[in-house]
Structure 1
Amino acid sequence: MKALLFTCMLVPWLVAASSRRSDQDSQLIPGSLPDRELNGYFNDHLKSRRARSVVSVADEPDDTAIEAEGDASDLPTCLLCVCLTGSVYCEEVSPDMTAVPTLPKETAYLYARFNKIKKISTKDFVDIVTLKRIDLSGNMISEIEDGAFAKLTLLEELSLAENRLVKLPMLPSKLISFNANYNLLKTKGVKANAFKKMAKLINLYLADNQLEAVPYIPDNVRILHLQNNNITEVNVNTFCRGNDTYYLRPSLSEVRMDGNPVVLSKYPDSFVCMKVLPVGRYR
């Protein structure tokens, strides 16, 4: 009797256990029914999620388009630019940067190249007396107010290359390097004493402009680029001093005058004080 009762209890238990094991195995075997159903669920879920993502993106406002229509002046400088200790990098800013940005007080180096800055006013740098280098190359600057750099007593390097300048403003007297290549400068737009008081000027770049004559060049200049202008003549006072036969210019080591109409061989006495002859047209 006991054996019969035990058998009646054992058989259903074994059948139930076998069924559970079969279900577990079918879930683990790739391609089984539960596995296919699970894969189908995930595929449907992913499709649904992608569909919702596409709809949500389409429904959301285009922030990029809105920004493109704005102006950089509406946003904080250090959100548009990279601000490191003493340095601000604002190159190819989007949305368009059309004016010099407001700078942190301690800025010593400003790189704002390849933007659409059109004008430099006296207020742009009035409070940033710590500036040592300014690079505004590749903008659309056609006007610089006199006095725009007046308070920059520490400024050593200034680049205004690749702009639309027709005249130069008053420049800081302590400049070591000045670059105004690729502008629209004519001789009448460069004051006679523009560089005269720059006792520390070493590099002077005025290539690819419309200058008709060589401006006054300080004694300390080493590299002078005047190529591709409209210079038609030089004289004994251009680089040397006609009334001082003992005057020498040992510092001037590179003078580029190629691409000008002037034939340099016609003015041999104009280079007697120099240790090198200008690069240019001699016949």
Structure 2
Amino acid sequence: MIWRDGEATPEEVVAEASEEHTDPIKIARDAARPATILRVAGELEERGGKILELFKEIESPLGRVVLPIYLRQDERDFFVEVATGPWDDRKAGEALDKAAILRSSEHAEAGLEILSGYPVPPEVEYFFGTSPAALLQLDLARLTPDRPEVCAGLFREVGSNHWGVDLDYEPGYLPLVEELLIAALEGDEAQNSPPLSSGLVAGLGCFLGETIRRNVSPPGVWLPTERWGEGPVVEIGEIVLDPIGKARAFLEYGPEESLAFYAEYVLEQWDGG
């Protein structure tokens, strides 16, 4: 197995190591990263891996990134990231970006591991995994609510591809989206409360807002963030909605904050007005 920070990784990596190579691969804190990468590559070869390339460049529609170790063992490919310094928000974001680019590349099926001298942030460890919820969120990692109609369209496209359905901006699709999201998040056996990415919150909220906006006549309009909202708001006559805030509430609290009920109530109020 590949190990990090003294603990086994969740991936079932490569073949079982021989008796003399069952100890974790240790990463010295604040050590020179290039030299550490070379040492780790040598240790992985001693444990039965075949190094295919060092500093492998990965390209996908999301961008380009370099991962330090690309190896094969037991007829499966793996990428290994090596971190020697302490973690902060910037480094965690860069690590998630690497995972997102890899998962949208031709190497999407490869294993992805991280070896770190410092404890790996839980969200980084989670998104380096391959649970359905993690993979969905990685595909949404770049979403922001700055252009809500575009954000809604990308959520619709990603969701349709992941779930094998053709989502549309009809209120009748919201119960299905709720069901599929809950199944993905609750089905992650490794995490009782999986991290929620800002991309998932933005995408779901914009999809909800766009669904409501399109189903009133005349159509509602998106407006910039209000002081009380979590992102852009939807204005329908005198009604102002915070769909991104509602999406976060649903993702955190589940069916009691139903998106479908919210949309149904708003549309009924509009029709009744």
- Compute the TM-score of the two structures, normalised by the length of structure 2: 0.29
Larger radius of gyration, structure 1 or 2? Answer: 1
Considering Cα pairs closer than 8 Å and 6+ residues apart, tell me whether 1 or 2 has the greater RCO.
Answer: 2
- Compute the TM-score of the two structures, normalised by the length of structure 1: 0.28
Higher strand proportion: 2
